[in-house]
Amino acid sequence: TGVTVDSSAAAEEAAATMLAAGARNVIITLGERGTLFASAAGVEHIPARRVQAVDTTAAGDTFVGGF
């Protein structure tokens, strides 16, 4: 999208760009700040749960696999 995602507002901007390009649903993970879900129906920010992280290897892959 050309948008640097360094804040929730930037994530919303990137999601809007992807929706305008034809995506029906957009999910952007924001690490400890949670996840942003966007669709034509609107934008939802899902906060992350606080956990004691032991190893973050493959955290993104695990998120996508679980989703």
pLDDT, one tens digit per residue, over 15-41 is 999 999 999 999 999 988 999 999 999
- The mean pLDDT of the chain is 92
Report residue 67's pLDDT band, with 50, 70 and 90 as the boundaries.
confident
Tokens of 65: 């696999």
Which one is catalytic: 2, 21, 22, 61?
61
Q: What's the gap between Cα 19 and its chain centre?
A: 13
Q: What's the gap between Cα 54 and its chain centre?
A: 22
Cα–Cα distance measured from residue 44 to residue 53, given in angstroms and rounded to the nearest whole number: 25
As a dihedral over the C-alpha atoms of residue 47, residue 17, residue 25, residue 45, rounded to 10 degrees, the angle is: 10
User: Do 46 and 25 touch, CB atoms closer than 8 A?
Assistant: no
State residue 15's pLDDT score.
97
Q: What is the pTM of this model?
A: 0.82
Q: What is the mean pLDDT of residues 6-22?
A: 95
Domain ranges within the chain, ordered by starting residue: 8-66
For the question of residue 6 being annotated catalytic, the response is: no
